[in-house]
Each structure stands twice: as structure tokens, then as C-alpha cells.
Amino acid sequence: MHVFDQAIALSVQGEGSYSGATSPAYGNMVGPFGGVTAATVLNAVLRHPALLGEPVALTVNFAAALADGAFTVHARPVRTNRSTQHWVMEITQPDAQGTESTVLTATAVTAARRETWGVDDAPMPAVPTPEAVGRPNMAAPVEWVRRYDIRIAEGAIPTTWDGRGDASRSTLWVREEPLRPLDFASLAAMADVFFPRVWLRRATRVPAGTVSMTVYFHAGAAQLAAVGTGWLLGQAQAQAFRNGFFDQSAQVWSQAGALLATTHQTVYYKE
């Protein structure tokens, strides 16, 4: 089993209730990588016997840091229409007193996709190929980064923390390492591979963490399967930094130029 599939694996406890555990392979500065946690809660929806269609949108709110160890995922469809389905999800974990406490809330929309007219209005930026960019020559700062081959074409992590940053945009190639065929869960995780925009904009490494993350899926399962183990191109940029929070918008394309997903985050930061 691929290390990613091990990390998001769930065991059925009851209808809409699953048990899981954090994976050291996706360790972050505090708790696990948020992208793999988002993928785990989406996996609960994908495994639910009442599932209608495929994911269209996923919103994850990180209420508290997920502690290393076991947790429980709850997922239930709150409304099912003819072609759309609305979900509410939650991750709970025992607190210091042994009481189950909510650490994450989430919602999702799934739908039976139909063949219609379509166009990508956000063109993929022109950047050097992954081979031309080459592998990074620095050590991975946290464990989860080792699970991806990330090649930054624009807006790399500053090499000098001097407070002189002047832009927040990064453009990068990414794929899983070891290779794994793309699906909804892995796409949700890779929508979160961008380091905090405040580090780039300020050139100051301050504590930061995602509070809320939404991913919109523009491709269906067949289009994701066609990508296979190929490269994805991601571009992320912040809009405003103020009062301890900033937002971040990002797009993810296939190497062939198809827009697969867009994502938006709210992130807190400290001075």
C-alpha cells in the first residue's frame, strides 16, 4: 500500500463513523500535514455507502491541532437531491481528560457530473519544465515534504530571512513520491503543498497555520485518472495580510494544461 493510502486509511466503526490514526510520514511542525488531514476527511465521504457522485467542493476548518495518534471521523449526508449531495464531517479526538473533543469540522458537496460545454478560463502559466527546474538542493524542513517531489519555478522559500520580501506568488511542479496515480484524495492534499505566503511576502519565518481551506474540484474521476502519475503545476498567491490573518488563492493544473482544482485558504500568522 502506498504511504499516502496508509495515512488516510479508515476502518468502519458504524454507519458514517470511521477510526483512523495519524502517520509519522506526514508530520508537520505541529501535528500532521493539513493536506493529508483534509484528504482523510474526504476519504470518509468517498467510502460512505450513501455517496452520490463525485466531489465538487470540500471545506475543512481546523479547529485545533490534530494530536499524533488515533482519531474518529464522522461523515453524514444532510441532504440528497437528484444530482447533488451535501455532507457534514467532523474529526474528534480524546482530550487530556479523555473526553472526545472536536478538532476539525468540514463540509462537502458531491454531484453526479454531466457532460456539458466547458472551458478553462484560467490558462496555465508558462514556466520551465520540471526537468529544467530540477530537484531542490535543500533539506526538507518537515517530514511531509519528503512525500512529494516539489520543484519551485518561481517564488521559492527565501534563503535569507531579512524582512525584505516584495511578492507572495509561487509557481511549482509537484507529484507524489513515490509515484501514485492521481485521485480526489491526493488532489485535495496537493492543493495544500504551498508554504505560508507570509514567509515569502515578508522574508520572515513566523509561526503560521491554516484555519480554513476550501478546494473546488473541476475535473471528474476519469480526467484525474488520465493524469496518472504525471506532474501537476500549482500557483499560489495571497491577497491581503492583516490583523494576524492572510488569505491564499491557488490553482492546480495538469501538465497538459487542464485546470483540475482551485483552492482558497485563510491562514493565521504571528509576529
Side by side, the strands of the sheet bearing 232-242 are 11-14, 17-21, 70-80, 84-94, 100-111, 54-62, 208-217, 259-269, 245-254, 232-242, 170-176, 148-154
CATH code at 80? 2.40.160.210
Is residue 255 assigned to a domain? yes
> Which backbone phi and psi does 231 adopt, to 5 degrees?
-75, 150
Model pTM score: 0.96
Is residue 81 assigned to a domain? yes
| 96-140 tens-digit pLDDT | 788 899 999 999 999 999 999 999 999 999 999 999 999 987 778
Is residue 42 assigned to a domain? yes
The answer to whether 83 touches 111, Cβ cutoff 8 Å, is: yes
Is residue 119 assigned to a domain? no
Domain extent, residue 193, equals 3-113+125-269
Is residue 118 assigned to a domain? no
Per-residue pLDDT of the chain (271 residues; tens, 9 = 90+): 999 999 999 999 999 999 999 999 999 988 999 999 999 999 999 999 999 999 999 999 999 999 999 999 999 999 999 999 999 999 999 987 888 999 999 999 999 999 999 999 999 999 999 999 999 877 788 999 999 999 999 999 999 999 999 999 999 999 999 999 999 999 999 999 999 999 999 999 999 999 999 999 999 999 999 999 999 999 999 999 999 999 999 999 999 999 999 999 999 999 8
| 151-171 tens-digit pLDDT | 999 999 999 999 999 999 999
Is residue 263 assigned to a domain? yes
Rounded CA separation 58/265 (Å)? 12
Is residue 120 assigned to a domain? no
Count of structural domains within the chain: 1
